Amino acid sequence: GALLALSKPPGLPVLGHPGDLSLDALLPALRRRLGLAAELHVVKAPAREYSGLVLLSSCYHTTKKLQQFFTSARWRGQYPATYRAITVGVPTEVEGVISTGLCWQQQGDRAMVVPVRAPGRRSLARKDVKSTLTHYRVLSAGGGCALLQLQPRTAFPEQLQVHLTLLLCPALGDHKHSSRVGRVLGVPFFLTLETAPTRTQVLDEELLSRLGLSPQQLHHLPLHIHLQELVLP
């Protein structure tokens, strides 16, 4: 019917400045190639850094109905979106929930998303901090890495990356938040933003060898978080 599903590569933004490569800029060409009479609208798409499922619609009313469904599903405590992630490190518990406040914090000339463990009522009411929750499950593990299923019940920029660092298992290819997981004698611990500036993710030699990468190539490694499934009404 009106729906179309695509698989988006990591690094492609949904929206961009005029002249930039973005999903939105590609929709007219896609419409012509498919011979569609109506314009295509983005119903749901993963963030720029993520790969995975993009849901498009050629019907404005269908788009609005589905977007309202995704929002109300989260309010009802459901998990309409399921992600997969490869992590550096294996969570202690096979399954669980990550729940924390998240907010934007200025760090030099850039804004970063940081966790707020016990947000106050006033900061939540002012919406300075948002309560966030992600359900996770370990699907498999080996070689110091894990494949996780992630189901966010809230929506906040970079929520999944920050939640994975709170598990002390940052996503593979996370060059923005992984520096907050430090190690002493092989035991991971969480670092604050002030003590852990952003840098290219550091991987041990064994993992680098298995990936077939040199340390100089690491900054090209994409973020391994993938939107795998969307549940429709």
How does pLDDT run across 167-201, given as a tens digit for each residue? 999 999 999 999 999 888 778 889 887 788 888 99
Claim to verify: residue 42 and residue 23 sit in the same structural domain? yes
Which of 49, 78, 107 delimits the end of a domain?
A: 78
Position 151: which residue type?
Answer: Q
Q: What is the mean pLDDT of the chain?
A: 92
Q: How many domains does the chain have?
A: 2
Higher pLDDT pick, 76 / 50: 50
Burial of 177 (0-12, 13-18, 19+ CB in 10 A): buried
> CA 39 to CA 57: how far, in whole Å?
8
Claim to verify: residue 52 and residue 151 sit in the same structural domain? no
Residue 27, domain CATH: 3.30.70
| 117-151 pLDDT, tens digit each | 878 888 888 778 999 999 999 999 999 999 999 99
| Listed residue (169, 95, 167, 170) closest to 138, CA to CA | 95
> CA 198 to CA 159: how far, in whole Å?
17
Q: What mean pLDDT do residues 103-128 have?
A: 84
The answer, yes or no, to whether residue 108 has pLDDT greater than 80, is no
Host H or E run for residue 75: helix 60-75
Claim to verify: residue 217 and residue 104 sit in the same structural domain? yes
Claim to verify: residue 61 and residue 117 sit in the same structural domain? no
Per-residue pLDDT band at 228 (split at 50, 70, 90): very high
The answer, yes or no, to whether residue 45 has pLDDT greater than 90, is yes
Residue 16: predicted pLDDT: 87
Claim to verify: residue 45 and residue 96 sit in the same structural domain? no
Q: What is the DSSP letter of 219?
A: G
Residue 207: predicted pLDDT: 92
Q: Output the six-digit token pair for 228.
A: 């795998």
Claim to verify: residue 162 and residue 61 sit in the same structural domain? no
How many C-beta neighbours within 10 Å does residue 116 have? Answer: 18
90: phi then psi, degrees, rounded to nearest 5: -120, 125
Can you give the residue range of the structural domain that contains 32? Answer: 3-78
| 51-85 pLDDT, tens digit each | 999 999 999 999 999 999 998 998 888 899 999 99
Partners of 41 in the beta sheet? 57
Which of 54, 78, 102 delimits the end of a domain?
A: 78
Q: Output the six-digit token pair for 193.
A: 């933003």
